[in-house]
Every structure is written in structure tokens, then in C-alpha cells.
Chain A
Amino acid sequence: MNLDSKIPSGPITTKWDRHLIESKLVSANNKRKYEIIVVGAGLAGSSAAATFGELGYRVKSFVFHDSPRRAHSIAAQGGINAAKNYQNDGDSVYRLFYDTVKGGDFRSREANVYRLAQVSGNIIDQCVAQGVPFGREYGGLLANRSFGGAQVSRTFYARGQTGQQLLLGAYSALSRQIALGSVEMHTHSEMLDLVVIDGHAKGIVVRNLESGELSLHSADAVVLATGGYGNVFNLSTYARGSNATAAWRAYKKGACFANPCYTQIHPTCIPVSGDYQSKLTLMSESLRNDGRIWVPKKVGDTRAPGDIPEDERDYYLERMYPAFGNLAPRDISSRAAKRVCDEGRGVGETGLGVYLDFADAINRLGEGTIRERYGNLFDIYKEITDEDAYTVPMRIFPAVHYTMGGLWVDYNLMSNLPGLFVLGEANFSDHGANRLGASALMQGLADGYFVIPYTIANYLAEIRSPHPGTDHEAFREAEESVSARTRRLLDNKGSRSTDSFHKELGVIMWQYCGMARNKEGLEKALQLIPELREEFWNEVNVPGSGQEFNQSLERAGRIADFLELAELMCRDALAREESCGGHFREEHQTEDGEALRNDEGFSFVSAWRHLGDEKEPDLVREDLVYEEIKMATRSYK
């Protein structure tokens, strides 16, 4: 099998423009003949569904939430990058492109990233026009802040609620299309299978979460914008409901899953406090603009932070990475935190924490300014820990936050299954092995507003006959397999709850496929996960029935899929014999403990193809060709 990325030829600066000119068009009159299914209503899904509706396509939008305003895009705090150069500090499309490729540790696809940087400015224009209340300066113009991995200020923000405001903007555009009748909205509706006919994605099977009823939906194209899979770790900054089921069902129907081992561990989260814990809360990266990260120099120093004198503190990011200091990229900052904690210098009861200290910033700027900038984040911190970060430093620790891997897509955002498109965090293409802060919102909205509305026409314009109806055999088969799986979960009546399996899986993944990985551990995980999966199917107990609102059943289906995906993640991590970005193999590091890439052996995308439950998946490579940027060792020193 060969994966064709369909990257347009020519210089990188003109690829997208040329592609637009060479792309097919669907005329205004013909658009209403095409039906598009969009699954997921976060930034990517809502913006895509709204824009398809505006263009005149007939759209069906599905989301498992009770409303299209709930997806976890809403929780993004810090901001969204755009190469506007409003600060006159030397930013440009090229620099944003360069920073993102470098930030991704040279494992992303150049052409996609350049396009992302090109449309970044349009996103800000669009959102401002929608009424998104971005932060402003006194003159009335837009304000910016700095984020990790960049030396310019290009991050636009709406207090600490940027994701919320951008999602509500997309939701408002979607709401308008729903009212106009161009988008048919299905809430509390979970996609449980993809229907593939003659090799093309032509529909989905959906469970209505209120009634339990299954329904079948056919269309000319299916767009998945269903987010990432970080909840495989159980404890993460994801929403509890975030899951990989839609993407995993697509994988099992033939769509390749790319780079599953690339997970982002965010350096600034509130540390774990107990085994009852259901999620980890992020403290925005923007805090690193003014907060200084440190641990005691001495091992096992249990003094209160205020009692530790300046010269006995190790501001380790400033020491190790003087050029970027506290704004070093996420993967690097997380690993540095792990290293100082492994040395026994971690703080807090568990020793798994470092300080994020605002004392200097408060002395310099006054408490009022810090309150204005980060007040809501300090409030969240107080609610969770019962500590006042204006007077004592915050304690933070890395946590799973984002997955760079996802379903493989070409330059048109189409998977290897024709007719199946994948947007946002659910695809793999733009962030390589590590995503920079404030780039997820950018990518979600770029894909939804400014890429897929054009590129989908290349597929639709080729269709010569109406799509098959739901009476097609393939729909009945998919429905039957979904019902059978639901029955199996419900009829099992074992001795263990779904959540107990999720917790156990999370521990395995964090231990062996987390911030640092090695061959021995990954092989161990590859033995433990199938055993756990087998136990799940023998012992899981799912109460209630399938014909009602049943949250236990919803979770059980999602955990069953995580139990399969986890294995693929470990397999991918084992196969990638190098360290890059968020993927750190202990066998491959420099003398001072930095990631050691192997460009000769591994500058490719690992796309895994499902060959059947009893067979090992096939590894298909897409070579990464760097025409524009010379691959170099990433340095933030």
C-alpha cells in the first residue's frame, strides 16, 4: 500500500494558492445535491459544518454532547497563534511556519504547516467579525501575549477562556445555519461505526444516547472532527467524555492511524492528589510568561517555599535553556520537570511537583496586573488546592494534554479511505511530534473554516452518481455489528466495573508509554494490555439496558476501544527507535539528556493499517521530505 500525500508541487509559498486554482469546484446549484456528515462539534467540526452550510451543501452534524457548545475545545485557556505581526516584532507567515515545524521536532508535513500559518490571520479576522471578545489594548486594537516555543508575541487571547470564546463563535455560526435549515443537528448522538461501500466512506451508524436507538445515515462524504485520544491514560486534562471511538471505528474500517505514539504531556498542570481523581486540571501555559519555575537545589528539601533562600533555588529552565527560559516548549519543559523530580528534588507531598512562582512578577508589576492577566487561573487553582498562589507558589506537574497522532490524511485532509475526511486533533498532520502552545485552536479552525470547505470539492466533484441509501447491505451489516457489540457488553454481567479497567489501563500507559519510554517497558505493556483487554471482555459489568440513557454503556464502549488503541500506541512507540518531541525513548538521548532524533532512519510518518483483529497491523510509511527547512537539532538554549 502506498500513501500519496498529494502535496502540490512548486515553492512552498505558492503551493496552497496553486492548489486552490487547480482544485475542482462544485457549482452553487450543484452543492445542494451533496450531503455531508460532520461528526464532532468542537472547533473543527462546528466551523466546518457551519461553513459547508453557508456554501449550500446539505449537512448533518452529530455530537455526543447535549449541545454543540460543549466540546473540549472550550477548555483551551491561553490563546490562538496567528502571524499578524501586529506587535511589529518581526513575525511573519514564514516565521510561524518555521517555529511550528521546529516545535514539532521535524516530524510534521511541511506543506500542511505552511498552509496553516498562511490562513492563521484569516482566522483572527473571522472570529473578530463574529464578535469574539479578544483582549485589547487601550487604543482599541488587539493585544497579544507570548507562548512557548516562540520569540515573538503572536498569541491572541480572550482572558483565560480563549477556547471557549472561539468555540462559542463557531457555535454561533453553526446555530445560524441550523436555523436556516442548511445544517440538521443531532445532539446526544454518538457515532459507533463508519459505513464503507466499494472502498468509499458513505455513512455512519449512530446511537441516540437518550433512547438507545440506533440510526443509519448515508452521505456523499463523512467528516470526522472528533478530537484526540489522550483519555487512553485515564488521568489527563481532557474532558471525561473525550474519546477515540469514532476515529477507532474508522481505523478498523481501513483508515490508517498515523503516529499514535505522539502524545503531548503538558508541563503545567495541578498535581495528582489521590486515587479517586477523575481528571487533571491544566494551568495555562500563558502563566509561564510571568511565573518562574523552580525546585530546591538540595535533594529532599522539605522547607516551605518561602523559607528557601534565593541561592538555594534551581530555576532549572532558565539555567538549562537560557534563550527561551520558562517559555521552553512543552515537551522539553515536561521532561525537565520529570528529571528534577526523578532526582528527588520534587516538591509537595508526593514529590511529584515543581513550583511556579509569581513573587518576582508581583514585585515588578503589582498584584493588580497579575490578577488582571491571570485572575481566573489563580481562582481555579484556589478552588482545587485551597491555596492562594498570590502568596505561595503554585505546585505543578506534567499531565497528558493532547495527541499529535491521529488518522492519516493527505493535503486535502482526506484519509486513505476516499470520502472520509479528518480535521483538528483527530488528524495527525500539522504538529509533528510536539505541538506548540496556542496552535491547537489555530489548527482546528484552519481546518474547519479555511481548508476543508475548499478541498472537499476535489472529492465531491468526482462523484458521478447519488450516494447509496441506508438500505444498502453495508449499512445493515454495520448496524448488526454495533448491536452485537452492545449486547455483548450488556450481557456479560462480570465482576468488574468499566472504570476499574480504565484506571488500570491508565496506570500501564503512564508507566510504560508516558513521558519516557524504553524497549523493555513497551514490550511489557504490549503483554499487559492484551491481557487486560481479555479480562475486560470476560469480567466487565455494565448495568442497565441498551434501550435507555445509559452512561455506563457509553463508557464501556469507549474503554473497549481505548484498550485496543493503547496497544497500537505502544507498538508505534516501540517501532520508533529514536526520540523526537513528545516521544522520548530513553535509549536515544544525548549526553545531557535531550531527545536524540534519528533523521536517517525515522523521518517518516508511521501510518498503521488494520488487517483484522487476529493479525498485527501493517506499518505504512510516508516519507517526510523537507524541501524548505533544513532539519536540525532542535535547540532552545
Chain B
Amino acid sequence: MKVKLKVWRQKNREQKGGFKIYETPDLNGDMSFLEMLDVVNENLTNSGSEPVAFDHDCREGICGTCSLVIDGKPHGPHQGVATCQTYMRSFKDGDVITVEPYRADPFPVIKDLVVDRKPLDRIMQAGGFISVRTGSAPDANSLPVAKETAELAMDAAACIGCGACVAACKNASAMLFVSAKTGQLNLLPQGQPEKDARVLSMVAAMDEAGFGNCTNQYECSAVCPKLISHDFISKLNRDFVAANLRRTFKSQPSTLIG
């Protein structure tokens, strides 16, 4: 099979980009989408052009490095599958495939299909953790966690931080990303002491980084390669309201005021 690629090329952050059309050589349906790009890049290199920059690393759907919007969908045609695990058998001979970078204000293009996702790290730094100093932990079995709770926390923890949820959202909201982390940690008994502070500071960091609000369209969970449920967004909203109420009305110890 052969396909035609309509690929976004952009030299750097400053310059404007545009689409270029490339025809692929003969492909094999068992090639991954990224292997197809490798082949196109090899040809570009050998013909004296610059290859297309794209993000990738583990190529097994877990590191969250790969991105791409393929025919308008972050991570391509399949539900619950990252770009790196999309195979050419999903396309037909002669298809024209549009390949773009994530389009979201908080994710500026670095080059071609590579975008800057550092704002997601900054949200995590604001509260995506349980404060536990190395060496200070009690025995692991001293705190039983119901299997159901642990499994639900794992559902949320499966987030790979790829940012597809942001790219799919018309508001460029990072609510699914944030709610996956707060969902995981707030469900677990270990996460209770910092629950309110975590939610408030992560949401504030999300707003500060320029991500938009959630308007309940759930485009995010539809494209999530790990199928993180938008139920976690509802949980985040509840946790956020409760944390705000408590912050307003609950008495604070004098040492923490001010």
C-alpha cells in the first residue's frame, strides 16, 4: 500500500508553519504509524531534505512521548491506542492522511510535529505528589487499601501524560490530566492529609498555565490512549468544591494562618 501524507512543517517556535505533501513508498500493513514516518524520513534524508521532527520514544504506548493529530484525532483512529501503537493496516491504499501537531495555546510548537508540554510538569509540581521523605514510610502492609479502591486508583494512575486530552478539547482544558492524578492520590488513604491542598494548588497551576475550563463535552476521554474516564473530572469538581468550602469555613490552626 501507498499513502499520501499532508504533514505540518514548522521550522521553530517563531516562524509560521504550513502543510507539505509527501508520497510514501510502498508500505506494509504491519508497520506502525511511526515506522511509516521513519521510512518517509529516511527518504527525505537521502534526497537531501530535512526529515520531519516528531516525538517518540518507547514505541509501546507507555512513555507518553508520542503525540500527533492524525486526520483530526489526537493519537489517530483507534480508541484507547497511542500513535506509536497505531498500525498502517488501519489505513487504506491511496489514503491521504493529515498529520498535525497538537493544537493548544499552552503547547507551543517547538518544531514540525513536536510541541512543548512542560506546563503539564508544572501542574504536577504544584501538588501531584504525597509528601513522604525517603526512609520515613511505615511498613507497606500497615495500611490496608480495599482492592476496589486500589484498582480504581490504578485506573486513574494509568495516565501517560501525553496531553492528548488537552489537544482534543476545544477549550484546551487539562482537567482530565489533573483529575487523573488527583483521582489516584485522593482515593488512597495515604493521600488524605494533603487532599484539599493538592486539588486547590493543581487547579490553580492549571489555570495559570493557560489551560481552559471543562464544558463537559468529554472529547478528552474519547481520545485518551489509556481510556481514563471523565468520571474523574466529576470527582475533581466535587473535591474542588469541598476543598474550597473547607478552606473558607473550617477553623485553621493559628500557626497556618497568614
**Which residues of A come within 8 Å of B, CB atoms?**
47, 50-51, 54, 65-72, 74-75, 84, 86, 121-122, 124-142, 158-159, 161, 163-165, 168, 171-173, 175-176, 178-179, 185, 187, 210, 239-241, 273-274, 276-279, 281-282, 379-380, 383-384, 386, 449-450, 453, 497, 499-500, 541, 543-544, 548-549, 551-552
CA distance A77 to B144 in the complex (A): 24
CB distance from B150 to the nearest CB of A (A): 5
Across-interface contacts of B138 in A (CB, < 8 A):
125, 129
CB distance from A135 to the nearest CB of B (A): 7
**CB within 8 Å for A240 and B53 given contacts A84-B140, A161-B158, A178-B125:** no
Q: Are A141 and B55 in contact (CB under 8 A)?
A: no
B34 (CB) vs chain A CBs: closest residue: A278
CB distance from B22 to the nearest CB of A (A): 15
The 5 A-B pairs of least Cβ separation, nearest first, read: A140-B144, A129-B137, A172-B129, A125-B137, A133-B154
Residue of A67, A133, A185, A241 touching B157 (CB-CB under 8 A): A133
Interchain Cβ contacts under 8 Å between A and B, 29 examples? A54-B134, A67-B121, A70-B65, A71-B63, A126-B134, A128-B190, A129-B136, A129-B137, A129-B138, A133-B151, A133-B157, A136-B144, A136-B147, A137-B147, A140-B146, A159-B154, A164-B160, A172-B124, A172-B129, A176-B131, A178-B125, A278-B32, A279-B60, A282-B60, A386-B87, A386-B89, A453-B134, A548-B11, A548-B111
Across-interface contacts of B89 in A (CB, < 8 A):
386
B130 (CB) vs chain A CBs: closest residue: A131
B190 (CB) vs chain A CBs: closest residue: A131
CA distance A448 to B42 in the complex (A): 39
**CB within 8 Å for A74 and B188 given contacts A126-B137, A136-B147:** no
CB distance from B192 to the nearest CB of A (A): 11
CA distance A84 to B39 in the complex (A): 48
Q: Tell which of B112-120, B167-175, B240-248 binds the partner.
A: B112-120
Is B213 an interface residue when CB atoms closer than 8 A count as contact? no
**CB within 8 Å for A122 and B135 given contacts A74-B62, A133-B157, A384-B85:** yes
Number of interface residues of B (CB under 8 A): 77
CA distance A50 to B125 in the complex (A): 12
How many A-B contacts at CB < 8 Å in the complex?
A: 213
Residue of B51, B60, B125, B147 touching A552 (CB-CB under 8 A): B51
Q: Are B158 and A543 in contact (CB under 8 A)?
A: no
A126 (CB) vs chain B CBs: closest residue: B137
**Which residues of B come within 8 Å of A, CB atoms?**
11-12, 28, 30-32, 34-35, 38-39, 42, 45-46, 48-51, 53, 55-65, 80-81, 85, 87, 89, 110-111, 114, 116-118, 120-121, 124-126, 128-141, 143-147, 150-151, 153-154, 157-158, 160-161, 184-185, 188, 190-191
A278 (CB) vs chain B CBs: closest residue: B35
Across-interface contacts of A54 in B (CB, < 8 A):
133-134
Across-interface contacts of A138 in B (CB, < 8 A):
147
Among A161, A175, A178, A499, find the residue whose CB has the most chain B CB atoms closer than 10 A. Answer: A175
**CB within 8 Å for A175 and B154 given contacts A74-B62, A140-B144, A276-B28:** no
Q: Are B150 and A135 in contact (CB under 8 A)?
A: yes
Q: Are B129 and A176 in contact (CB under 8 A)?
A: yes
Q: Are A549 and B114 in contact (CB under 8 A)?
A: yes
Across-interface contacts of B137 in A (CB, < 8 A):
122, 125-126, 128-129
**CB within 8 Å for A543 and B45 given contacts A74-B63, A187-B118:** yes
Across-interface contacts of B12 in A (CB, < 8 A):
548-549
Across-interface contacts of B46 in A (CB, < 8 A):
497, 541
Residue of B130, B141, B150 touching A130 (CB-CB under 8 A): B130
Across-interface contacts of B140 in A (CB, < 8 A):
84, 121, 124-125, 127-129, 134, 142
Given A276-B39, A380-B85, 8 new contacts (CB under 8 A)? A65-B65, A66-B116, A173-B132, A176-B125, A279-B59, A450-B135, A497-B46, A543-B49
CB distance from B124 to the nearest CB of A (A): 5
B29 (CB) vs chain A CBs: closest residue: A386
Q: Are A179 and B125 in contact (CB under 8 A)?
A: yes
Among A135, A158, A279, A380, find the residue whose CB has the most chain B CB atoms closer than 10 A. Answer: A279
Q: Are B124 and A171 in contact (CB under 8 A)?
A: yes
B81 (CB) vs chain A CBs: closest residue: A383
CA distance A450 to B116 in the complex (A): 34
Q: Are B134 and A450 in contact (CB under 8 A)?
A: yes
**CB within 8 Å for A172 and B120 given contacts A133-B153, A240-B59, A450-B135:** no
Across-interface contacts of A68 in B (CB, < 8 A):
121
Across-interface contacts of A282 in B (CB, < 8 A):
60
CB distance from A453 to the nearest CB of B (A): 7
Q: Are A75 and B28 in contact (CB under 8 A)?
A: no
Q: Are A67 and B118 in contact (CB under 8 A)?
A: yes
**CB within 8 Å for A168 and B157 given contacts A69-B64, A210-B110, A384-B85:** yes
